[in-house]
Structure 1
Amino acid sequence: MAKKKAPKKTRHPLPNQQGLRLLPQICKEAEQALAAKDFIICTQKVQQAKRIAPKHKQVLLLEGRLYTETQDYAAGIKAYQTLLTLDDKNPRVYNNLAHLLNRNQAPEAAIECYYQALALDKTYRLAYKNALHVLRKLKRTEEIGRLLGQGLAALPDDIDLLKEYAKYLRDTQGVGASLDVFRRLLELRPDDAQIWNSLGVALDRNQQTEEAARAFQKAAELQPEYGLAHRNAGNTLAALSKREQAAAHYRLAIQYEPEYRRNYSNLLYQLQHLCAWDEIAELSVRVDQITQQALQEEDWSSIESPFSNITHCDDLALNQQVAQVKARLTKKAVAQYAPFDFSHRSFNTNQRLKIGYLSCDYHAHATAHLIASLFKNHDHQAFEIIGYSYGRADHSEYRQRIVAGCDDFVDLRPLNDRQAAERIYQDEVDILVDLKGFTKGSRLEICAQRPAPVQVTWLGFPGTSGADFFDYVITDRIVTPPEYQAYFNETFAYMPHTYQVNDQEQAITEPRPTRTDLGLPEDGFIFASFNQNYKIQPHILHIWLEILKVCPHSYLWLLRSNAVAEANILTYAERQGVAERLIFADRAAKPDHLARLGCADLVLDTELVNGHTTTSDALWAGVPVLAIEGQHFASRVSASLLQAMHLPELIVPDRQTYQTRAIALAQDPQGELAQLRQRLAEQRLSAPLFNTLLFAQDLERLYRQMWHTWCEKS
C-alpha cells in the first residue's frame, strides 16, 4: 500500500527582491495617502505592501494606523497583535494597541497594554496621558495616584502630568492640596495664562477669593484676549464687592468670549450695584432676549443665574424656568455618583429627628444675623441639631452662638461635594435643610446627591430652587400664596406667621447715638433706606425724591456702598434739585448699626427686591417700614415681616399709594406715625416676628409633618 504524502506546511512566501526594492516607495505612498485621509488609496497601497511582505514591521504598523483611522478596530487590533509577535519591545505598538482596545470596549485589556508600554519606556508621555484617561473612565482612583507618582518620578517637570496631579489631589484630598502643584507649574511656566487661570479656579474653590482674583487678573494681563480669565476675574471681583473692576472685566469677557452669553447678565448685576441706570436700561433688554432665546434653544450655558433673574424680573413662570435650568445643571455635575440607599435604616414617626442645617454663612453675615438664636431654641430632647458649614470661620459672636446651639457642628470645607454628601449620609440625617439656595458660595451639588431622606430649602434664596432634590420650601402664605404653588418645584411648607426667622437677642449698642453724632439734622424728618444698591431702581429713587420735594425739611438717609453708585444717585438727585438732602452712611458693626437706625423716622423699602434682614433690622430698632407688596417672593418679604409684626397698615399695593402714604406719615409725625412707633415698641418682644422660641416650635411641627409623610411613603 502506497504511503500517503505528508501535507505541506503553509509557508508565507518570501518577498522577492524586486518587491522589496519597491516596498519603501509603496509605504511612502501609503503614508501620504493616510495623511491626506485618502483611505481608499491607502488601503490599496497597504494591501500591495502586504502581498510583498505580509510580516514586515512597517507594513503592519501602517495597517494598524489605517484601521485606527477607519475605525475598523478589530482589524487594527489584529495587525498590532501580529506586529507584537515580531517585536514585543516597542512601546509605541503597545500604546497603539491599547488605544484600539479601549475604543473596542475593552478598557481593562487596554490598561494592561499601556502598562506594558510604560514598563518599556518610563518617560512615554502619551502613554501616561492615555492610561490616565482610561483609569478615570474606570474610576480606579488609587491606580491613578500610583501612575501619577510613577510618571512624576520619571518626568518631575512634565507640565501635563503636573496638571493631572493637581486634578487628582483636588478630587481626592480637596482643592487646597492642589495649590502647591499649581505653584510648581508656574515656576516652570510663569507666563502661562492658562495655568494662572487654573490656579485662580483652585484658590476660588478654596475660598481664597482675593488671591483667586489676582491670579485671574494675571492670566488676563498675560493674555488680554483670554475671555475665560476676564469672566473669572469678574466673578471673583464681584464676590469681593469690587463692582467697577468686575464690570470692566465682564465687558472684556463679552468682547473676547461672545459665545458665553451669560456674561451679559453678569455685567447687568454689577451695573445694578453701581446704579448705572442708563446702561442698565439697554442691557436688561438684551439679557431678557438672551434668556428667552436660550430657553427655547436649550442653551443652558447662556441663561442667567436664578438670583440675577429675580433681581430684575418678577415673572414667576420665568423665574421658575431659569431656576430649573440651574437645578438640572447641578444634578448633571454629580450624575456620576451612585445614589444613596436608605433601605437599611429603620424609621418611625416618633423618633428623635436628626436635622442638618447646611450653609456657608455661619459667620458675620445676614443669614447668621437672623438665625443665630434658632438652634439653641430647638427642643434638643426631640431633635438633634447638626450644623454643616462649608464657609469661613470668623470666630464672630454669631458663629460662636450658632456652634454652641448645635448638638454637633461639622466643617465640610476640606471635603469635596461627594465626600460632604457621604458625611451627611453617614451621620444619618433625617431632614437636611439647605440655607443657601442660589446665593453666593452655595454648594447645591451636595443636596443634588440626596444624602438625606427629606430635603428642604429655606431662607437664603427668595424663590424656587427648580429642583426635584428638594421636597419642601419653608415659606408663608404672604410671600407664596397657595396659587403660587404651580411656580415652585417644591411643596409649600407653611409657617403660620412668617417664613423668616429672627434673633430676639440681637444686641443694640448703648448709649444710642444722637442725630448730631451721626451728622444728621436734629429737626428734620429722616427717611431711610439701608437696602443694597442693586435693589434701588430708578423709578423707586424717583418716588423717594418726589417725596422729599413735597416734604420740606426732609432728608433721605442711604447706605454708602461704592463711589460710582453714590455719584450716580447724587447725579440723579441733582436733576431733581434735592441732591443736598441726601445723606450717606458708612457701613457699621451690627450693634452700632441697629443703634443708629433709631434716628430715622420712617424706612422706605425698595420694590422689586424688598429688604429682608434690612427690614427686620429697622423693626428691631423700632423704626416703621413702608413697603409695597409685589408679585414674586422677593418683592413680598417686607409684607410678610410687617404682618408678623402686626403692622399691616404699612403694607401698600402700588407705587402711587406708597408715595401718598409716605408723604402723609411725614407731614404728621406726631399723629399716626407716632402711634405706629409706639405700637412697634410695645409689640417688639411679643409679636411673632421676634419670638424665636415660638418660631422654633412652629418649625419643629413642620419637620414632624414632613417626617410623618416620609414614613408613610416608605
Structure 2
Amino acid sequence: MTQPNAPAPHAPEPFGIVALDAEQQFQADIESVLQAALEKHRAFELHEAEPLYRLVLDASPHHTEANYHLGLLMIQRGQFDAAALRFEAAIGANPSRHLYWANYVDALTRSGQVAAAKLVLELAVSQGMNGPGVAALTGQLDAATQLREGDGTADSRAKLPPRDERELETLYAARRYAETIALAEKMTHKYPKAEMSWAYLGVAQFSYMKLPEAIGSLRRSLELNPLNLEIRRALADALRLTDRFFEAEAECRRIIEIDDRHPEAYRVLGLVLCGLTRLDDAQAVCRRAIELAPRSHQAHHTLGVVLMELTQFDAAEEHCRRALELLPSDKYAHQNLLFCLSHKESVDRRAYFEQHLAYAEHCEKPFRAQWKKHANSRDPERCIRVGFVSADFNQHPVANFIEPIFRFFANDPGLSVHAYYNRNFTDDMTRKLRSLVANWHDVPGLTDADLADQIRADGIDVLIDLTGHTAHNRLETFARKPAPVQATWMGYLGTTGMTSMDYYIADRFYVPEHQIEGQFVEKLAYLPAFAPFEPASVSPALNALPALSRGHLTFGSFNRFNKLRPQTVALWSELLRALPDARMLIAGVPHDDSYLVVRDWFAQAGIGTERIEFRQRASLEGLLAHHLDADIALDTFPYAGGVTTLQSLWMGVPTLTMPGDLIASRGSTSVMSLAGLTDFVATDRADFVARGVAWAGKLNELAQIRSGMRERCMHSPFFEQDTVAAGLSRGIRKMWQRWCAGGAPATFDA
C-alpha cells in the first residue's frame, strides 16, 4: 500500500509547503485526466480518449502509462508506426514491464518492420522477460512474424478504413447500439481480419445485453489480437453476467498474467469472486485494484459492493462515498450507497432521505428542463394505457408478485397493459408473463432517452417502475417524464427522491401515513396489501411444531446473509440467553468462511457454537424445507424481511419482528399485521425479548398457529391476489382521473 507523502526535510516556510502542495495538486490533476482518458478508452470512445492522453503528455511527456495507453489506442486505429513510438517511450521510462515490450513487438510487426520486431523480441527475452504467460505471448508474436515474412504482403482486410472506424465509434459513443451492431456486422464480412470490426461488434452487443453473441464476437477479436486486454476484460465481464464465473475468472487471471498492474482486471475479478461467494478473495483483489488506480471511482464502488456482501457496511459506505467524490454523477454508486445505508444500524432518517435527494440532484435534475407537454387525451373514463418497467420479469420475487396482477389485468376492460422488459434473459417465468401481456417490449438495448421516446410514442398514461434503486433500473427514463402519471412499486423499499415520480404504491402497515413526512417525495397510493403473493409450488407440507418433540424452541433466520448485523445478533443472543435451552438455525450462508464473523458475534454475546447451526445457500425448495426445523423466525433489522417473511408464514413459521424508522424495517410488520398476528410485532428491544420468552411458554398455542397457518394465510390480503389486483386497478384509475382533472398527486386509499 502507498504511504502518505512525508514533509520535505528542509523546506522553507511557508513558501516551501505551498510549493509542495501545488506540486501534489499538479500530479493529482494529471492522474485525474489520465483516469478520465482510461475510462473513455475502455468505453471505446477513442476520439475522446486520445486528446486526454495527449493532455497528460503535454504536461508530462515521459508519463509511462499515458504513452503506453496512447500506443494501444494507435494499435486499435491501425496507426502502427505511431504506436511503436509510444511503446518505445514507455519502455524508456520503465523497461521492466514485459507488456510494453510485447506490444512494441506487435506494433513493429504490424507496421511491416519484421526485422526490427525480431530484434526487439530477442532483446526482450535476453533481458529476462519470462514471467507468467510470456512464453505463450511471445510464441503468438513469433508466429505472426513468420506469417508476414512468408508472403511479405499486407492483408488489406486486416485494417478498417478510418472512415468506417470513425462511423462505428460515432454510433457506439451515441449509444446507438442496434445501428452499431448492424454496421459492425457488415464490417466483419468485408474486413474479417480487422480486429476492430469484431471489437466494436462485441462491445455493442455487450451494451445491447446480447451477451452470448458478444462473447463470440469478443473471442474472435482476441484471436486477431490477443494483446487487447480491454477486449479480454469485456469478455470476462460478459462471461460474469451470464453466470459463467469460472471462465470469467480464467480470463481475468490471464490478463493479470500478461499485465499484473491492470486495475480493471482486478476489479472485474472482484465481481467474479463475489459471484462465486469467495468474498474474502474478492475483497483482496478489489483492494489491489484501488492500490493500482486510487482515483478510479469504479474500483472504489466495486469494493463497496463486495464489502456490503461481507456485511461491512461502514467500510462499504466509505468507498461508495469516495466513488461519488471522484464522479458525482455515478448513478450506480448513488444507488448502492442508498442500499448500504438502508442496512446500517444507526442510519439517520433525515440523512438517508437527503441522500435520495442527492441522487435526484445529480441524476434527474439535468433532464427536468427537457420535459415535454403530454398530449394524452384527458378522458377520465377511457381505457388507460398502463406500462410496467422492470428487469425482473424472470425467476425473481418481483415476477412472482406481478404475475397475479398481469393475470387479473388481462381481463380488465379498463386497462391496456404494456410491459417493458429490461433484460435479454428469458426463462419459464418470462414466457408465462409474456403470454399474459398484450403489448410486450424487450428494451435492454435502448438508451434511457430512446426508451422514454418509445413510451411516449406508445401513448402510456400511467407508467409504473418495479425496480427503484436496484439493479438494471430505468430511473433515468422516468426522469425524462415520458408519461403524465408515474409511480414506483415493489422493487425498492423507499422513495426514489425524484420529482418526476408521482406515487409510491404500498399498504398502510408497510408505510404508515405518519411516516411519509421526511421519507418520501412521492404521494402514497395505498393497496389492501403491499403486493399479492403466490406460494411456491415446491413448498413442503407443514409438520408439527418441532419444539413439542424436542422440548425447546428453535429460532430461525432465513433472510439474506448480508442483512445480519452485530446489533441484530446481539438482540437475538439476549433472547437466547433468556432461554438457555433454545437453539438458533441460520440458513442461506455463503459457501465460504465469511459466516464465521457472525459466529464470532454470537460468541462475543456469550452464545456458544453448539447452540448455532449454519446451513449453506440452497434452492428455493431446500430453503423452504429448512423451515420444518424452526418454530419461530427472528427478523433482521434495520432491513426486515419481506418475501422471506411471507415464505416463512406459508411454512407455518411466524416471524418475531421489530419495526424501526426506515420503511425497509417494516416488511414483516406488514405481513404479520395483515395476517392477524400482531403479537409477533415488538415495540422495542426489551419487548422483542419479552415476546420471544412469552411464546416459549405457550408452545400449544404456537402449535395451533402452525397447524392452521395456511388457512390463515388464505384470508390475508397478501394471499388474496385478486383483491390486491383489483385495488391496484382502482388506484390506477384514481391516479389517472386526478391528472385528467388537473389536480396534483395526493395520497389516497385504493
Q: 1:599 to 1:281 in 2, by over 3 A?
A: closer
Contact 2:386 2:416 survives alignment (8 Å): yes
Q: 1:354 to 1:602 in 2, by over 3 A?
A: same
With normalisation by structure 2, the TM-score equals 0.67
Q: 1:157 to 1:506 in 2, by over 3 A?
A: closer
Q: 1:291 to 1:411 in 2, by over 3 A?
A: closer
* Distance in 1 of aligned mates of 2:496 and 2:516: 13
Give the letter for the 2:612 counterpart. L
Structure 1 unaligned regions, length at least 5: 1-68, 70-91, 93-121
Could you say which residue in structure 1 is the equivalent of 2:562? 534
Supply the RMSD in Å over aligned alpha carbons.
Answer: 4.4
What per-residue deviation string (whole Å, max 9, x for no partner) do you get for residues 676-699 of structure 1? 557755532112232111111111
Q: 1:320 to 1:251 in 2, by over 3 A?
A: same
SS of corresponding position for 2:294? coil
What per-residue deviation string (whole Å, max 9, x for no partner) do you get for residues 12-35 of structure 1? xxxxxxxxxxxxxxxxxxxxxxxx
Alignment of 1:231-270 (within 5 A): 231-239=267-275, 241-260=277-296, 263-264=299-300, 266-270=302-306
SS of corresponding position for 1:501? coil
Q: How big is the shift at 1:586? A: 4.3
Contact 2:160 2:194 survives alignment (8 Å): no
SS of corresponding position for 1:630? coil
SS of corresponding position for 2:589? coil
Could you say which residue in structure 1 is the equivalent of 2:146? none
Give the letter for the 2:735 counterpart. M
Within the alignment, does 1:524 sit opposite 2:560 as a pair?
no
What per-residue deviation string (whole Å, max 9, x for no partner) do you get for residues 123-150 of structure 1? 8966666677778899999998999799
Q: How big is the shift at 1:515? A: 8.6
Contact 2:249 2:273 survives alignment (8 Å): yes
* Distance in 2 of aligned mates of 1:226 and 1:144: 28
Q: 1:539 to 1:585 in 2, by over 3 A?
A: same
2:644 maps to which of 590, 601, 614? 614
Could you say which residue in structure 2 is the equivalent of 1:199? 235
Q: Which moved more, 1:358-367 or 1:617-626?
A: 358-367
Contact 1:513 1:595 survives alignment (8 Å): no
2:421 maps to which of 380, 386, 389? 389
* Distance in 1 of aligned mates of 2:364 and 2:313: 34
* Distance in 1 of aligned mates of 2:717 and 2:400: 17
With normalisation by structure 1, the TM-score equals 0.70
Contact 2:267 2:286 survives alignment (8 Å): yes
Q: 1:452 to 1:520 in 2, by over 3 A?
A: farther
2:342 maps to which of 291, 297, 310? 310
Could you say which residue in structure 1 is the equivalent of 2:659? 629
Q: How big is the shift at 1:556? A: 0.7
Q: 1:441 to 1:339 in 2, by over 3 A?
A: same
* Distance in 1 of aligned mates of 2:391 and 2:582: 40
Contact 1:549 1:578 survives alignment (8 Å): no
Q: How big is the shift at 1:247? A: 2.2
Could you say which residue in structure 1 is the equivalent of 2:5? none
Contact 1:363 1:399 survives alignment (8 Å): yes
Alignment of 1:309-708 (within 5 A): 309-312=341-344, 314-327=347-360, 330=363, 342-343=374-375, 345-378=376-409, 379-391=411-423, 393=425, 395-396=427-428, 398-399=429-430, 401-413=432-444, 415=446, 417=448, 420-488=451-519, 490-503=521-534, 506-507=536-537, 509-512=539-542, 522-562=550-590, 563-575=592-604, 576-590=606-620, 593-594=623-624, 596-671=626-701, 673-674=702-703, 677=706, 680=709, 683-708=712-737
Contact 1:554 1:581 survives alignment (8 Å): yes
Q: How big is the shift at 1:570? A: 3.0
SS of corresponding position for 2:419? strand
Contact 1:386 1:407 survives alignment (8 Å): yes
Structure 2 unaligned regions, length at least 5: 1-54, 56-78, 80-157, 744-750
Q: How big is the shift at 1:596? A: 4.7
Q: Which moved more, 1:281-290 or 1:194-203?
A: 281-290
* Distance in 1 of aligned mates of 2:382 and 2:191: 58
Q: How big is the shift at 1:429? A: 2.8
Q: How big is the shift at 1:216? A: 4.3
SS of corresponding position for 1:441? coil
Contact 1:194 1:219 survives alignment (8 Å): no
Give the letter for the 2:347 counterpart. D
Give the letter for the 2:348 counterpart. D
What per-residue deviation string (whole Å, max 9, x for no partner) do you get for residues 345-392 of structure 1? 434111222222222222322223333323223352222333332336
Q: Which moved more, 1:562-571 or 1:687-696?
A: 562-571
Could you say which residue in structure 2 is the equivalent of 1:30? none
Could you say which residue in structure 2 is the equivalent of 1:224? 260
* Distance in 2 of aligned mates of 1:615 and 1:148: 49
Could you say which residue in structure 2 is the equivalent of 1:42? none
Q: 1:399 to 1:554 in 2, by over 3 A?
A: farther
* Distance in 2 of aligned mates of 1:452 and 1:701: 19
Contact 2:160 2:197 survives alignment (8 Å): no
Q: How big is the shift at 1:621? A: 2.0
Give the letter for the 1:669 counterpart. L
Could you say which residue in structure 1 is the equivalent of 2:97? none
Q: How big is the shift at 1:711? A: 1.9
SS of corresponding position for 2:459? coil
Contact 1:386 1:406 survives alignment (8 Å): yes
SS of corresponding position for 1:373? helix
Could you say which residue in structure 1 is the equivalent of 2:45? none
Q: How big is the shift at 1:632? A: 0.7
Q: How big is the shift at 1:705? A: 1.3
Alignment of 1:131-170 (within 5 A): 157-158=193-194, 163-164=199-200, 166=202
* Distance in 1 of aligned mates of 2:322 and 2:447: 33
SS of corresponding position for 2:504? strand
Give the letter for the 1:468 counterpart. T
Q: How big is the shift at 1:630? A: 0.8
Give the letter for the 1:380 counterpart. D
> Percent of counterpart pairs with the same letter?
24
Contact 2:633 2:656 survives alignment (8 Å): yes
Give the letter for the 1:473 counterpart. Y
Give the letter for the 1:565 counterpart. S
Could you say which residue in structure 1 is the equivalent of 2:741? 712
Q: How big is the shift at 1:439? A: 1.7
Q: 1:221 to 1:367 in 2, by over 3 A?
A: farther
* Distance in 1 of aligned mates of 2:162 and 2:377: 51
Contact 2:301 2:319 survives alignment (8 Å): yes
Give the letter for the 2:226 counterpart. P
Q: How big is the shift at 1:663? A: 1.9
* Distance in 2 of aligned mates of 1:375 and 1:392: 20
Contact 1:213 1:236 survives alignment (8 Å): yes
* Distance in 1 of aligned mates of 2:322 and 2:209: 39
SS of corresponding position for 1:565? coil
Q: Which moved more, 1:125-134 or 1:570-579?
A: 125-134
Q: 1:216 to 1:490 in 2, by over 3 A?
A: farther
Contact 1:362 1:389 survives alignment (8 Å): yes
Give the letter for the 1:315 counterpart. D
Within the alignment, does 1:187 sit opposite 2:223 as a pair?
yes
* Distance in 2 of aligned mates of 1:449 and 1:298: 16
* Distance in 2 of aligned mates of 1:170 and 1:265: 21
Q: How big is the shift at 1:704? A: 0.8
Contact 1:609 1:635 survives alignment (8 Å): yes
SS of corresponding position for 2:594? helix
* Distance in 2 of aligned mates of 1:324 and 1:208: 37
* Distance in 2 of aligned mates of 1:544 and 1:531: 14
* Distance in 2 of aligned mates of 1:589 and 1:302: 30
What per-residue deviation string (whole Å, max 9, x for no partner) do you get for residues 191-214 of structure 1? 332221233455567787775565
